[in-house]
Structure 1
Amino acid sequence: MKIILISLDTLRASRLSSYGYTKRTSPHIDQIARDGVLFEQAYAADIPTEVAHTGVFTGKIGLTTGAVSHGSDLTQLPKSVEWLPNILRSAGFTTAAVDNMYQLKEWFARGYNYYINSVGGNRWIDGSTVNKLALPWIDQHKDESFFLFLHYWDAHTPYLPPESYIPEFYDSAKDPFDPRNKSMEPAYNHSAYPFFKHHHYDLVGEVTDSDYYDALYDAEIRYLDDRLKELDDHLAKLGIQEDTLLVLFGDHGESLTEHDIYWDHCGLYEPTVHVPVIIRWPGRMPEGRRASGLVQQVDLLPTLLEAIRKEAPSGIDLSKLNDPAGLDGRSLWQTIDGASEGTHETVFLSECAWQAARGIRTDRYKFIRTYDAGPFTRPPRELYDLSVDPEEKKNLADSEPALAEAFELELEEWVQRKLHGRQDPMVVQLEERGLPFRRRIEQILAGAGMTWDEWKSNPDRAKFDEAANKHSHSK
């Protein structure tokens, strides 16, 4: 038995044609969905990358593990917390990863016989790099029962797809650098600009057309799709495709200007928390099934363990594959087999990076409680009726106060139940360190001789650019 778990970093569900997008970004992913099961309402309970993946590999949400913040030196994951690669290795699987999250936290390398670090000379990792490392490893271990984790970053900023992929998504008659186009001004004048200038805008160029950035994102997805086809074709060539349980998931999505978020993944809005989850296992599950109920990423761990118990592969010790205690995730197998449409009636949401907020997603409503808005302007409470307002544009918190208060009480009671008397790690983070991404902006501003308060009160892009250029030339 082979298991390949694939993280499609920063992949927004609604940008795939299998999830309703009209452009041809994902022909091979769509084919995988037709050959397997697609979960229409899959959610990232914790965002962004660090906490999302910790949930996937533990089957537990951030309030259970204590990992609620991305990039914080306060966050630790005790070795006593059961970890999917450890579980599988102890049962007899050969475990491997092509990944670079070890650069974030040490626990992402736990449990692997082979941890192949894909980190390179810059923060942008091309999917072809992942395949160049993964395919030879698969060749060498094709006759074993293995678990392989692959982490593709192509849809993450900075968007730098091969030039040949861009024309399909951007009108060739347009000039993305036309100075008469002012659609990029809101992004360039945003309080988070210093961070994105350094990590994104300077790498792409003086773009003036915001549509061009959207096109670059689409082109990155299309390029990623080709890399997945390359991987899948290799499995077929080796004759192991039919024996491989393939799982695709997005760790979080991406906002493309919605809610004052410019090509980034914060905010508990649908563009960021609604993610693709697609599973294919030839001959063992239905083909072309679309499950419509709510599921979340932490459901993947118990789903994989149940799959192995179902298959009972030779040489694997099934006694080592009982579900860990205290899981928040629930196996997707009843949903896969059609006995249910989802695993949860409610998904609780959390973030603590650019801003600190928690939320509730039901089949109809989204409620968001913001505790620290960071560089954004947010009301303390947001309530959306997604049945009539899927883009979350009309905040009902003031016009429906009783409903908003009921959701807030439900959220508070849920937090207290999960904490079991422990300190709230989000409160600890905010009181002892503040928002991790605010600290990143502060470091960049300090290099330009500015403070956070000065920048927030007057985010003068020209002044920052001049100061930053002087600082870089003085090095």
Structure 2
Amino acid sequence: MKIILISLDTLRASRMSGYGYGKRTSPHMDRIARDGVLFERAYAADIPTEVAHTGVFTGKIGLTTGVVSHGSDLTHLPKSVEWLPNLLRGAGFTTGAVDNLYQLKEWFARGFNYYINTVGGNRWIDGSTINGLALPWIEQHKDESFFLFLHYWDAHTPYLPPASYVPEFYDASKDPFDPANASMEPAYNHTAYPFFKHHHYDLVGRVTDTDYYDALYDAEIRYLDDRLKELDDHLAKLGIQEETLLVLFGDHGESLTEHDIYWDHCGLYEPTVHVPLIMRWPGRIPAGRRVPGLVQQADILPTLLDAVRRETPAGIAGDKLADPAGLDGKSLWSAIEGTSDGTRESLYLSECAWQAARAIRNDRYKLIVTYDAGPFRRPPRELYDLSADPQETVNLAETRPDIADALESQLNAFVAKKLDGKPDPMQEQLTRRGLPFRRRIEQILNAAGLTWEQWERNPDRAVFDRATAGMQGH
């Protein structure tokens, strides 16, 4: 038995053709879904990257592990917390990873016989680099039962796809640098501009058309899709495609100007928390199944452990591979086999990086409660009727306080139950350190001789550009 778990960093479900997008961004992932199962409403309970992946590898949400904030020096995951690679290695699998999450936190390297760190001089990692390391590893271990984790970053900013991928997604008659186009001005004059200027915008150039940025994102997805086809073709060439359980998931999505968020992954809105989840295992998972109900990333761990117990190949102690205690995730096998539509009726969502907020989402409504808006302007409560308003444009919190109050009570009761008297890690972060990404902006501003208070009053990109002219690495 082989298991390949693939993180598609920053891949938004609704931007994939298999999830209903009108452009052909993901033909091979769509084919994988047709040969397996696609979960139509899979969610990241915690965002962004650090907390999302911690949830995947523990089967527990941030309120259970205490890991709720991305990029914080306060977070720690005790070694006593059971970890998916450790569990599989203990059961007899050879475990490997092509990944660089170790650069964020040391626990991401736990349990791997082989951890191939892809960290380099750039902030971005090309999918060809991942395949260049992963394909030889797979060939070397093709006769073993293995678990391999692959982390592709192509859909993450900065969007720098090969030029040949862009024309399919951008109108050739348009000029992305046309000075008469002012659609980028809200992004360039946003409070978060100092961070994105250096890390994203400068690398792409002074684009004036938001449609071009969206096209770059689509092109990155298509490029990623081709890399996944390359990987899949390699499995077929080696004769191990049929015995491989392939799992594709997004750690979080991406907002493309919605809700004043410009090509980034914050806010508990659908573009960021609704993620793809696709599984294929020929002969074990029925082909063409689309699961309509709510599921979450924490469900992946018990699903994989359940798969091993079902298969128990030679040399694998599947009978000893019990689910860890206190899991938040639930096995997806009943949904895969069609005896249920999902794993829960309500989902609880959380973020603590750019903003600090929690949310509850059920089949119809979503309530978002914001504790610290960071560089954004947010009302304390947002209530959306997702059946009538899937784009989350009409806040009903004031007009339907009965629904908002009931959902907030449900959210608060859930948080209190999970904490069970322990300190709230989100409040600890806000009290002791503040929001990690606001601190990054403050550091950049301070280096430019500006204060947060000045900038928040007047986030004029021309002011910042003049202050940083000639500076390197601000």
Query: TM-score per shorter chain, which class?
Result: over 0.9
Superposed counterparts of 1:275-290, under 5 Å: 275-290=275-290
Q: Is 1:19–2:19 an aligned residue pair?
A: yes
Equivalent position amino acid for 1:321 in 2: L
- Give the aligned partner of residue 146 of structure 2: 146
Q: Deviations over 1:264-300 (max 9, x none)?
A: 0000000000000000000001100000000000000
Task: Note if contact 2:309-2:319 (Cα within 8 Å) is conserved in structure 1.
Answer: no
- Give the aligned partner of residue 462 of structure 2: 462
Secondary structure at the residue paired with 1:246?
A: strand
Task: Note if contact 1:59-1:299 (Cα within 8 Å) is conserved in structure 2.
Answer: yes
Equivalent position amino acid for 1:265 in 2: H
Superposed counterparts of 1:26-425, under 5 Å: 26-425=26-425
Equivalent position amino acid for 1:410 in 2: Q
Provide the C-alpha distance between the structure 2 equivalents of 1:268 and 1:303, rounded to a whole number of angstroms.
25
Secondary structure at the residue paired with 1:471?
A: coil
Provide the C-alpha distance between the structure 1 equivalents of 2:158 and 2:459, rounded to a whole number of angstroms.
22
Task: Note if contact 1:87-1:320 (Cα within 8 Å) is conserved in structure 2.
Answer: no
Report the alpha carbon displacement of residue 103 of structure 1 after superposing the two structures with TM.
0.3
Equivalent position amino acid for 1:103 in 2: Q
Task: Note if contact 1:447-1:471 (Cα within 8 Å) is conserved in structure 2.
Answer: no
Report the alpha carbon displacement of residue 469 of structure 1 after superposing the two structures with TM.
1.4
Provide the C-alpha distance between the structure 2 equivalents of 1:326 and 1:431, rounded to a whole number of angstroms.
28
Report the alpha carbon displacement of residue 35 of structure 1 after superposing the two structures with TM.
0.2
Q: Deviations over 1:4-63 (max 9, x none)?
A: 000000000000111000100000000000000000000000000000000000000000
Provide the C-alpha distance between the structure 2 equivalents of 1:346 and 1:328, rounded to a whole number of angstroms.
13
Taking structure 1 as the reference length, the TM-score comes to: 0.99
Identity %: 79
Provide the C-alpha distance between the structure 2 equivalents of 1:404 and 1:414, rounded to a whole number of angstroms.
15
Task: Note if contact 1:90-1:320 (Cα within 8 Å) is conserved in structure 2.
Answer: no
CA RMSD of aligned residues (A): 0.9
Secondary structure at the residue paired with 2:379?
A: coil
Equivalent position amino acid for 1:190 in 2: H
Task: Note if contact 1:300-1:332 (Cα within 8 Å) is conserved in structure 2.
Answer: yes
Report the alpha carbon displacement of residue 92 of structure 1 after superposing the two structures with TM.
0.5
Report the alpha carbon displacement of residue 234 of structure 1 after superposing the two structures with TM.
0.1
How many residue pairs match? The answer is 474
Provide the C-alpha distance between the structure 2 equivalents of 1:444 and 1:38, rounded to a whole number of angstroms.
42
Gaps of at least 5 residues in structure 1 are none
Report the alpha carbon displacement of residue 372 of structure 1 after superposing the two structures with TM.
0.2
Moved over 6 A (4+): none
Equivalent position amino acid for 1:435 in 2: L
Report the alpha carbon displacement of residue 320 of structure 1 after superposing the two structures with TM.
3.4
Equivalent position amino acid for 1:128 in 2: S
Taking structure 2 as the reference length, the TM-score comes to: 0.99
- Give the aligned partner of residue 430 of structure 2: 430
Provide the C-alpha distance between the structure 1 equivalents of 2:226 and 2:62, rounded to a whole number of angstroms.
33
Report the alpha carbon displacement of residue 317 of structure 1 after superposing the two structures with TM.
1.1
Report the alpha carbon displacement of residue 339 of structure 1 after superposing the two structures with TM.
0.3
Provide the C-alpha distance between the structure 2 equivalents of 1:470 and 1:32, rounded to a whole number of angstroms.
48
Equivalent position amino acid for 2:186 in 1: P
Provide the C-alpha distance between the structure 2 equivalents of 1:3 and 1:472, rounded to a whole number of angstroms.
44
Report the alpha carbon displacement of residue 451 of structure 1 after superposing the two structures with TM.
1.2
Report the alpha carbon displacement of residue 120 of structure 1 after superposing the two structures with TM.
1.3
Provide the C-alpha distance between the structure 2 equivalents of 1:103 and 1:471, rounded to a whole number of angstroms.
26
Report the alpha carbon displacement of residue 99 of structure 1 after superposing the two structures with TM.
0.2
Provide the C-alpha distance between the structure 1 equivalents of 2:243 and 2:277, rounded to a whole number of angstroms.
20
Secondary structure at the residue paired with 1:82?
A: coil
Provide the C-alpha distance between the structure 2 equivalents of 1:329 and 1:307, rounded to a whole number of angstroms.
15
Task: Note if contact 1:44-1:275 (Cα within 8 Å) is conserved in structure 2.
Answer: yes
Provide the C-alpha distance between the structure 2 equivalents of 1:15 and 1:462, rounded to a whole number of angstroms.
33
Gaps of at least 5 residues in structure 2 are none
Secondary structure at the residue paired with 2:330?
A: coil
Secondary structure at the residue paired with 1:357?
A: strand
Equivalent position amino acid for 1:386 in 2: L
Report the alpha carbon displacement of residue 119 of structure 1 after superposing the two structures with TM.
1.1
Q: Deviations over 1:370-391 (max 9, x none)?
A: 0000000000000000000000
Provide the C-alpha distance between the structure 2 equivalents of 1:49 and 1:210, rounded to a whole number of angstroms.
25
Provide the C-alpha distance between the structure 2 equivalents of 1:309 and 1:320, rounded to a whole number of angstroms.
8
- Give the aligned partner of residue 4 of structure 2: 4
Task: Note if contact 2:70-2:352 (Cα within 8 Å) is conserved in structure 1.
Answer: yes
Provide the C-alpha distance between the structure 1 equivalents of 2:123 and 2:371, rounded to a whole number of angstroms.
30
Equivalent position amino acid for 2:202 in 1: D
Equivalent position amino acid for 2:365 in 1: Y
Provide the C-alpha distance between the structure 2 equivalents of 1:345 and 1:289, rounded to a whole number of angstroms.
20
Provide the C-alpha distance between the structure 2 equivalents of 1:146 and 1:318, rounded to a whole number of angstroms.
13
Secondary structure at the residue paired with 1:76?
A: coil
Provide the C-alpha distance between the structure 1 equivalents of 2:116 and 2:194, rounded to a whole number of angstroms.
33
Q: Deviations over 1:423-453 (max 9, x none)?
A: 0000000000000000110111111111111
Task: Note if contact 2:312-2:319 (Cα within 8 Å) is conserved in structure 1.
Answer: no
Q: Is 1:450–2:412 an aligned residue pair?
A: no
